[in-house]
Amino acid sequence: MTAKLNVNIDHVATIREARKTIEPSIIGAAVICEQAGADGITVHLRGDRRHIQDRDIELLRDVVTTYLNVEMAATDEMMKIALKTQPDAVSLVPEKPNEITTEGGLDVIKNIDAVGKAVKTLRNAGVFVSIFLDPVLEQIEAAQRIGAQQVELCTGEYAEFTLGAKAAHGEGAMNAAQEIRRIHNAAVHAHGLGLKVAAGHGLTYRNVGALAQISEITEFNIGHNIISRSVFVGLYRAVEEMINAISKQKI
């Protein structure tokens, strides 16, 4: 079965927040993504509210008919918002105030109490819980122990090796192949533990194909590359092209 695509529309809000105005509409973006065939909408409500705002989550909850996945840190503030708005899924992610984007997976082992408490709170409220992790077996085991239903494997390092100059050199391709193996092993391990497996970060039309061949991965969360392409071809077509990039590579 082809993996699902949740489109991360954070950067539609990034453009809006650049002018603190009302356009482009996050709701309009969500509807177009769904019409183009996306299986869900993902947004990241950051502590600093640099793009997505609290009101966006409320509006999206009313409008999104497919699947609303909200990425957030495991803080009391965010738990309150999740309980109030009831997204279909919450993905717990690490957050550093000055990072440009999420820099890697959550260290569940180091933060087991806080993350465990958040997982329990969300599950008691009937929210599906995913945790964003580096493809490290011990982290996956810890996520399963504290009751997560899904792990989202961080593909950031893999993506780095597929970009520009690095990809052009033999070493980049070798490192990318190594990362694919690491992600594959992690996906098989997580699946064996009864977890659902998602993947995301830095994925593009060009590099998603290799990961789409890993049958244990059932969901991709992809944002920046789709929103970037939409500037030139429109959001509808940009989403369709990513769905094609994922599905045509399936063995």
State the catalytic residue, choosing from 34, 71, 157, 179.
71
Q: Which of 202, 62, 68 is nearest to 130 (CA)?
A: 68
Q: Which is nearer to ligand PXP, 170 or 233 (CB)?
A: 233
State the catalytic residue, choosing from 95, 201, 216, 219.
201
Q: Which is nearer to ligand PXP, 101 or 185 (CB)?
A: 101
Integer Cα distance of 1 and 219 in angstroms: 11
Does an H or E element contain 68, and which? strand 68-72
Integer Cα distance of 92 and 55 in angstroms: 20
Beta carbon of residue 118, minimum distance to ligand PXP (angstroms, whole number): 15
Cα distances from 139 to residues 105, 133, 186, 217, in angstroms, run 9, 7, 10, 17
Binding-site size, ligand PXP (CB under 6 A): 19
| Catalytic residue status for 201 | yes
Q: Could you count the other beta carbons within 10 Å of the beta carbon of residue 156?
A: 18
* 8: phi then psi, degrees, rounded to nearest 5: -85, 115
Q: Which of 71, 157, 179, 219 binds ligand PXP (CB under 6 A)?
A: 71
Contacts of ligand PXP in 113-132 (CB under 6 A): 132
Beta carbon of residue 11, minimum distance to ligand PXP (angstroms, whole number): 7
Work out whether 93 is an interface residue with ligand PXP (CB under 6 A). yes
x/- mask, ligand PXP, residues 184-213, rule CB under 6 A, reads ----------------xxxx----------
Q: Which of 101, 178, 185, 228 binds ligand PXP (CB under 6 A)?
A: 101
Q: Which of 228, 250, 248, 249 is nearest to 238 (CA)?
A: 228
Beta carbon of residue 242, minimum distance to ligand PXP (angstroms, whole number): 10
9-23 b/e with 16+ CB inside 10 Å = b? bbbbbbebeeeeeee
Q: Catalog residues that contact ligand PXP under the rule CB under 6 A.
A: 8, 10, 44, 71, 91, 93, 101-102, 132, 152, 200-203, 221-225
User: Which residues are identified as catalytic?
Assistant: 44, 71, 201
